[in-house]
Amino acid sequence: MGTDDGFNFCGCGCLQITGRESYQKIGQSLGLDLVNNPDLVNAPQNVLLIAGTEFVKSGCLPDCDQDNVVRVSARINVGNPSASPGKINGLAERKRQLTIWKREFGLA
């Protein structure tokens, strides 16, 4: 007999946290029981905190400092920082958004 893990631990939240192990690790980091309460991932009071935690734990900050959209995207969406840019959906739009945000914050 199978489990309901595919349903319970599907991609949710801002960065689409996926899988029991990811829910458990992020939950432990934040003191949230995401395994027994997976709906907490989408709760308004948690969603940005979870995304930020996953972003940091995925090792994205050094790549952000270098504006390396390919590596950040690969870490979040592909799980492999050496992933081919061709495997990253929406890469052109991500680069466009980086340009917009840098301009808005006076960093361009």
Which top CATH class is 5-57? alpha beta
Whose structure tokens read 């432990």? 28
pLDDT confidence of residue 11: 87
* pTM (global) more than 0.85: no
Q: CA angle 3-22-17, nearest 5°?
A: 95
Residues 47-73 as b or e (16 or more Cβ within 10 Å = b): beebbebbbeebebeebeeeebbbbbb
The residue-averaged pLDDT of 77-82 equals: 77
With tokens 């492999």, the residue in question is: 80
User: In 10 A of CB 103, how many CB atoms?
Assistant: 10
Domains of the chain, by residue range, sit at: 5-57, 61-104
**CB count in 10 Å sphere of residue 87:** 12
Residue 1's pLDDT is what? Answer: 54
pLDDT tens column, 23-55: 999 999 999 999 999 999 999 999 999 999 999
Phi, psi of 17 (to 5 degrees): -55, 135
